[in-house]
Amino acid sequence: MHFLKNRGFVHPQASDITPQGVYEGRRDLLKLLATGAAGATLAAWAGRDALAQTVRPNKLAALAGVRSALPGAITMEKLTPYADVTSYNNYYEFGTDKADPGRSAGSLKPRPWTVAIEGEVKKPKVYDLDELMKLATLEERVYRLRCVEGWSMVIPWVGYSLAELIKKVEPTGNAKYVEFVTLADKAQMPGLRSGVLDWPYVEGLRMDEAMNPLALLAFGLYGEVLPNQSGAPVRAVLPWKYGFKSGKSIVKIRFTDRLPQSSWMKANASEYGFYSNVNPAVDHPRWSQATERRIGEDGLFQKKRATQMFNGYEAQVGQLYTGMDLKKNF
């Protein structure tokens, strides 16, 4: 019988072996547990496992990032498969169906690329993509992404905190908001012919939101450069806000003293507000935001999972909104 066959010595998987440091420090760990201070230590330890699952899909050029040490930057949840991340996208410049960008974003040319920094800054500048990428250490961060439509993913991004760039360009005292302008080129983007939105796609943040270290300027995902349909070559990732707030293929970052009018606010101000923070208690006018379906993970007959306040990043960003009526400032 096969299951009784002696297979000899079975080599353990690398991931099964307890790291020597952990093994040797087991007494300290027990002490920590006893004092209740183990939470943070264990989070970092388990984070290594989260990182271990990032296997390069070998589709695009490699872009490595060091594991982020920022609290909350690495969720231990199961990653959404690369195939799903790259075939289920809302990127209206390539069509409004979620299968459209994966099929038609091949026409986007992510290089050469420049990003203009304008407005209320002491050092306005047009950055070449390569220079922008070298501005700070690239980190790998595993964020939850919650779409306003009621689905979610877990994606390993590569990039650095937007704050790093903001500090370099030195905003003036008048800079209250940051506005992201994304590419709008009819030759590269077939979806621009439709009048769904006011092109170019514009999104914005309050300065303190933009300075929050979780706000990521991303250049890659899954250890490789961004696929076109995911917003190549550079995009924003704001994990506590609905996905549409994170502008893709950014060409301009403008600092202003006035509240930016985003494309979605112009299209439907009563449904899409400036903040658009993930909030299970504030429904979209046309549907509930209390639950979400995790793409590629929740089975067909599985109940949808509960959506978390600020998409689970309340500890990191909650203080930005203290005292605000989040029902009014949706």
Partner 1 sequence: MNSTTMPTSAVPQRTASAKPKSLLLHPAAKVALFAVCLLPFAYLFYAAYANTLGPNPAEALIRKTGDWTLRFLCITLAITPLRTWVKQPALARFRRMLGLFSFFYVVLHFLSYAWLDMGFDIDAIVKDIPKRPFALVGFLALLLMIPLAATSFNRAIKALGAKRWQALHKSVYAIVLLGLLHFFWMKAAKNNFGEVAIYAVVIAVLLGWRVRQRFITKRAAALPAR
> In terms of CB distance, is 113 or 244 closer to partner 1?
244
Separation CA 180–CA 280 (nearest Å): 26
Region from 47-55, 79-87, 122-130, 181-189 binding partner 1, contact rule CB under 8 A:
79-87
Radius of gyration of the chain (CA): 21
Site membership for partner 1, residue 58 (CB under 8 A): no
> In terms of CB distance, is 8 or 195 closer to partner 1?
195
Site membership for partner 1, residue 87 (CB under 8 A): yes
* Amino acid identity at 212: N
Burial class (CB in 10 A: 0-12, 13-18, 19+), 37: exposed
**Residue 70 in contact with residue 213, Cβ under 8 Å?**
yes
Site membership for partner 1, residue 304 (CB under 8 A): yes
x/- mask, partner 1, residues 114-153, rule CB under 8 A, reads: -------------------------------------x--
Q: How far apart are the first and last CA of the chain?
A: 64
Phi–psi pair at 149, nearest 5 degrees: -75, -10
**Residue 327 in contact with residue 279, Cβ under 8 Å?**
no
> In terms of CB distance, is 97 or 118 closer to partner 1?
97
Site membership for partner 1, residue 194 (CB under 8 A): yes
* Amino acid identity at 329: N
Site membership for partner 1, residue 301 (CB under 8 A): yes
Among 24, 134, 186, 287, binds partner 1 (CB under 8 A): 287
Among 25, 190, 273, 296, binds partner 1 (CB under 8 A): 296
**In this structure, is the dihedral angle defined by the CA atoms of residues 253, 257, 259 and 261, taken in order, positive or negative?**
negative
Query: Which residues, in sequence order, are CB contacts of 65 under 8 Å at separation 6+?
Result: 138, 139, 140, 141, 158, 159, 220, 223
DSSP 196-245: SS-SSPEEEEEHHHHHSTT-EEEEEETTEEPPGGGTSS-EEE-TTB-GGG
Site membership for partner 1, residue 206 (CB under 8 A): no
Site membership for partner 1, residue 261 (CB under 8 A): no
Among 82, 91, 92, 244, binds partner 1 (CB under 8 A): 92
| Tokens linked to 290 | 């209390």
> In terms of CB distance, is 41 or 96 closer to partner 1?
96
> In terms of CB distance, is 98 or 176 closer to partner 1?
98
> In terms of CB distance, is 285 or 323 closer to partner 1?
285
Query: Binders of partner 1: how many residues, by CB under 8 A?
Result: 24
Site membership for partner 1, residue 293 (CB under 8 A): yes
Among 82, 88, 91, 255, binds partner 1 (CB under 8 A): 88
The distance of closest approach from Cβ of residue 286 to partner 1 in the complex, given in angstroms and rounded to an integer, is 5
DSSP 277: B
| Tokens linked to 111 | 């290089």
> In terms of CB distance, is 150 or 213 closer to partner 1?
150
Site membership for partner 1, residue 286 (CB under 8 A): yes
Count of H helices and E strands in the chain? 10, 13
Residues that bind partner 1 (CB under 8 A): 83-84, 87-88, 92, 96-99, 151, 194-196, 283, 286-288, 293, 295-296, 300-301, 303-304
